[in-house]
Amino acid sequence: MPASLALGVLLTSVPAAVLSRLVAAGLWPGPIARVPPPEWYGQTLLVLSGLALGRIALAGLDRTRSPAPPTSPPAAGGLLDRLPPRLGRDVVALQMEDHYVRGIPAPDRPSC
């Protein structure tokens, strides 16, 4: 654990321990009174240290993840190259049918 993170955990544990002890003492006054404040702080420090180490581990996993492969441009010979020349290249819409695709050309061209 880096020194700055360790110092941050040590300092953050103080208000976290005080706040959690006040809440716990309000809910369970008898059992909480038997736990001395230094022990309560130690438990809080242990929990926050675990959370900090878990965050470090997750950050390490993000760095080891491989980047997504680059997407390639569409290959030549796509759908427009398969259309009959009489239809032209101005397709207004594609309509999916049961087992084929119907191309809707520009209004000045014959339909597919």
Question: What are 50-59's pLDDT values in tens digits?
Answer: 998 888 888 8
Phi and psi at 72, nearest 5°, equal -95, 150
**Read out DSSP for 42-107?**
HHHHHHHHHHHHHHHHHHHHHHHSPPPPPPPPPPSS-HHHHS-GGG-S-EEEEEE-SSSEEEEE-T
Rounded CA gap, 86 and 27, in Å?
A: 82
The per-residue pLDDT string of the chain (112 residues; one tens digit each, 9 = 90 and over) reads 678 888 888 899 999 999 999 999 999 988 888 999 999 999 999 999 999 888 888 887 766 666 666 766 655 566 677 777 776 777 777 788 887 777 777 776 655 5
| Amino acid in the structure at residue 110 | P
pTM of the model: 0.51
Host H or E run for residue 4: helix 3-27
Which token pair is 91? Answer: 């397709």
